[in-house]
Each structure stands twice: as C-alpha cells, then as structure tokens.
Structure 1
C-alpha cells in the first residue's frame, strides 16, 4: 500500500504553477531574466563575456531574492519594510535613566529621608470593633 505524508498545517502548502515554482516565483524570475539577459547580450562586446555575465548576475540577484527568500512566513519586501520602520521611521525606545545623587557631588553630605507610609490608614488594615 502506498504511503503519502500529509502535513498537519496546510497553510504552509503553496500551489505550484509550473516547474515546481509558485506564481510569485515565476513572475520575479521572469522580471530578473527580462532585465539581465538583454543587458548581457548588449554589453558582452564592449565589456567582455566575464564582466557582462558578472553584472548580469548582479542585476538578476535582487529579483531572485524577492522570489525565493521567505522567513517566518514573510517575503523579503515585508522583512525589509519592518527593518526600515524599526531602524529609521519609528523613534528609538528611550532608556530609563536616573540621576544618582550620591555621585553628583561627593564632597557634600547628602541626607536622605525616607517617610514610612502606613498602609491602609491609621488602622493598618485592621477592622474596626
């Protein structure tokens, strides 16, 4: 009898369109190829084969990363948007700093008075009789 494993969480299963790639991956790779391949054929006579191929790969690399990179269910553009928000758009969290009165002027004597607060008023939490 044939055995097929079925994943428990079906939200992670993605529909494959062609060549075992999703529609998003096909579109991104096609966009990268549309930018890189004409660049190679137009510049290989001027730059040489190896230089034109290197620049073609560098032109196609971002499209490939947008197609394939996924972390924690988020694609690359979502991860980049979150990083930009945290680093530049949102204010940084301010640190809680206090001034230590004992280090401000060590020559002076500082007297600290602590008032003991009574919990519950004069009865100290006891019931009245």
Structure 2
C-alpha cells in the first residue's frame, strides 16, 4: 500500500497549473524568455556567443528569482520591500516609550487644586467684596 504525505497546513499548498508550475512561475518564466532570447540573438553576432549567453543569464536571473525564491512564505518582492523599509525608510533608532499614568494623575491633581483655589478665591471675594491675601 502506498502512503501519500498530507500536509497539516493546507494554506501552504499552491495550485499547480501546468508542468507542475504555479501561475506565478509560468508568468515569470515567460517574461524571462521574452526578454532573454531576443537579447541573446541580438548580441550573438557582435559580442560572441559566450558573452551573449552571459548577458542573457544576467537579464533573465531577476525573473527566475521572482518565480522561485520564497522566504517564510513571502515572495522575493515582499522580502526586498521589507529590507528596504528597515534599512532606509524607517528610522534606525526607535526609542521605547510608555504612557506614564502616574504623571497623568499628578497633573490632574494639580489642576484640581488650582481650580479649587480659584473657586475658593471667588467665593471669598463675593462674601467680603475684596481680594483674598495669599
């Protein structure tokens, strides 16, 4: 009897379209062929076969990487975007800041004292008709 391994996490399964490749891989490989082959045939006569092949590989490599490379379930462009954001866009130093609730309570108590002092002062003025001494 043949046993077939079934993954426990079904979200990691990608549907294969043709030749055991996903749609993303087929599109990326097609883009690589569309850019690489004409470039090879254009450069083959003027630069030589080996130089044209090298240039073709260099031009097609990003498409191959976009089709095949994946880290932690994320494609290459997402990984590159995250690296660019952490290295260049976001600030290097992110200080740890907390909300000091004690300071808020202290400020509230101080404001309440000030308000009560004002209220007491206006009440004294109404009764006596003159300003209170401090």
TM-score (norm 2): 0.68
Structure 2 Cα separation of the partners of residues 43 and 94 of structure 1: 50
Structure 2: gaps spanning 5 or more residues:
97-134
Alignment of 1:87-98 (within 5 A): 87-93=87-93
Q: CA deviation at 1:94?
A: 5.3
Work out the number of aligned pairs and report it: 96
**Could you say what the CA RMSD is over the residues aligned between the two structures, in angstroms?**
1.4
Q: CA deviation at 1:3?
A: 1.9
Structure 2 Cα separation of the partners of residues 94 and 23 of structure 1: 40
Report what 1:42 is aligned to.
42
Report what 2:5 is aligned to.
5
Other structure's SS at 1:31 match:
helix
Q: Does 1:24 align with 2:24?
A: yes
Structure 1: gaps spanning 5 or more residues:
97-129
Other structure's SS at 1:93 match:
coil
Q: CA deviation at 1:5?
A: 1.6
Per residue, is there more helix in 1 or in 2?
A: 2
Structure 2 Cα separation of the partners of residues 17 and 32 of structure 1: 18
